[in-house]
Amino acid sequence: MTANRATRPEIVLRGLGVSPGVGWGPAVHLPRRGRLVFRRSLAPHEVDAEVARFQTAVAVAREQLQALRQRMEHALGREHAYILDAQRLMLEDAGILGEIEMLIRTNAINAEWAVKLVTDRILAIYAEIKDDYLRERGSDIEDVAHRLLTVLVGERDAYAFPEGAVLVGETLPPSLLGELDPQRVAGLVIGTGGWTSHAAILARGLGIPAVSGIHGALALIENQALLLVDGTQGLVFVHPAQEVIRRYEEQQKERERRWLLLRERAPLPTTTSDGVSIIVRANIERLSELEDARHFGACGIGLLRTEFLFLQAAPELPSEEMQWRAYRQVAEAAGPEGAVIRTVDWDENQMAALGSHRALRDEPLVRTGMDDREPWIHERNPALGLRAIRFSLNRPQVLRTQLRAIVRAAAFGNLRIVLPLITRVEEVHEARHVLDAVCRELRAEGFEVPDRLPLGVMIETPAAVWLVEELATAADFLSLGTNDLIQYILAVDRDNDRVAHLYDPLHPAVLRAVHHVMRAAERAGLDLEVCGEMAAHPLHALVLLGLGVRILSMRPRAIPLIRDLIRQCELARVRDLAQKALTASRGIEVRQLVLRGLEEMHLEVFDEALLNGSAPPPRDPQ
């Protein structure tokens, strides 16, 4: 690294800080598509063993396909099992297998990288084919590649990139980020994505410093270049000077000192200075975060995102048993406060990226024996397409399997279910109809089933805001999903860093919507939980408390900071501040109002916590 700095001038790139903190290490480029694999160079003596590892993986993949084919033939008959023959033949193709082995030997690279190089080349050829039917066959190549990579990666403890690496990519799908071991990643540099993009939320949840909006990141930053990522200020130093690293090391020590202070206060009750108790829960993306939730003093799980199960099961869909085991673990770990499980919030594009779209398309065939499959069409605008509850109701077997697993797990703890992206009351009734049917089935099968499993609604669209009175009569509780709510109210794509400055949680329209929903929940006598990123930001959390919110749910690592803030604040004064905010006409007015309130109330909030890597860049009043 010293030689690197001595020969290369320092370059500073400015982007959008989306996950706070500082990290440095060698840059590792992320692939533009497909499963997350990395190139690893082999020593000469490792080559034969790597070829043998690849050959073993091919044999395992063949056995998996053969078993799958037999199950399909048994269920549907031989005439339908041909679907998998094309993939089986690819795993016997001497040309494809020979090319992969040759790359491992001649380039001395790991098997995963060789599989990726060969299948990417074949997919590029398929993409140029004009005939729709033949071009669609490219999905078989993707499935085979995904299966091979799953077998290969499954043999290893971690992905083959250097520990302490800074990952650099144009985009970072959340499905790929979920596969990473955060202990091995020092930072992230992403070409596109706003502060509430799913990748940014995951990075904050994992505690990985991240900067977004570095367009052309792969071209600007060479592989293996030394990088320093400042996720709080949104800066990336390429070939950082020694004095820059020294300065950041000092800042890191100060940050750790402040963090220890917060941790020491963690056991104190979460009560405002004028005696009002506030409930703080944890949002989690993976089961490994259950320990973080307990460690940071979460009062139950306010939101379990279930997409990780679909990621782990890909290219198949997660089975009822697999889901049940996960939900049972959450139920038992959450304690008496329980957990809220959100039904899957994905779309078919994300399923296709994992190679699961074939399992999705074949599911009705397997279930009914009717081959009425339609070709998969890429969603042009997935945020407005067949996602979340729309996807679940369109794929009733997926919803039914998930609900069966949750209901069975509810015998082991206090579980509730929440439905994402609701825009119509009918969607709640349809989902409850499926839930009631599932409960009857399970009772008939002898399972222990609660008398009634609470079913909640995510308020995250303008339609849900203005139908909240009606939704409150159909639901058992309400959950405010501020990430999507802000996106849809302000018409700002949360994944687009070019409009990130317009994504303003303190926009008067957002605050008035939250106020409207809060009043409706109070009138209906229902709990309203806020589980979006607003709950984790000090300024935004203060405004939410002032508007009447008493249950906040956030990523576990944000809990100590927000609990400390709550203990310092006087709720009566915060309520006055929120009432003034509701009369403002611009977001910048609200921000200045809240900052003045912080100062007048002598609230101790670290400057970097106010930036928090998540606040939109403040702009001067026009």
Q: Kindly list the catalytic residues.
A: 198, 531
In the structure encoding, which two tokens stand for residue 225, read together?
Answer: 């270049």
CA distance 494 to 502: 10
Which region, left, alpha or beta, applies to residue 385 given φ > 0 means left and ψ of -120 to 50 means alpha? Answer: beta
In the structure encoding, which two tokens stand for residue 448, read together?
Answer: 């222990």
Between vectors from CA 405 to CA 404 and to CA 408, what angle results, nearest 5°?
85
Distance from chain centroid for Cα 580: 35
The pairing of beta strand 455-459 with beta strand 165-169: unpaired
User: What size, in residues, is the chain?
Assistant: 622
Distance from chain centroid for Cα 15: 21
**Could you give the 3-state DSSP secondary structure of residue 195?**
coil
Q: Is the peptide bond before 315 cis (omega within 30 degrees of 0)?
A: yes
- CA distances in angstroms from 368 to 321, 357, 371, listed in the order given: 21, 18, 8
Closest CA to 350 of 324, 393, 319, 311: 311
In the structure encoding, which two tokens stand for residue 493, read together?
Answer: 């794509």
CA distance 319 to 23: 38
Helix H or strand E segment including 307: helix 307-313
Per-position DSSP letters for 230-266, written without gaps between them: ETTTTEEEES--HHHHHHHHHHHHHHHHHHHHHHHHT
Closest CA to 380 of 411, 348, 410: 348
Asked if 194 and 494 count as a contact pair (C-beta separation under 8 A), the reply is: yes
Buried b / exposed e along 436-447 (16+ C-beta atoms within 10 A): eebbeebeeeee
CA distance 494 to 11: 28
Contacting residues for 31 by C-beta, under 8 A, at least 6 apart: 37, 116, 169
CA distance 567 to 295: 19
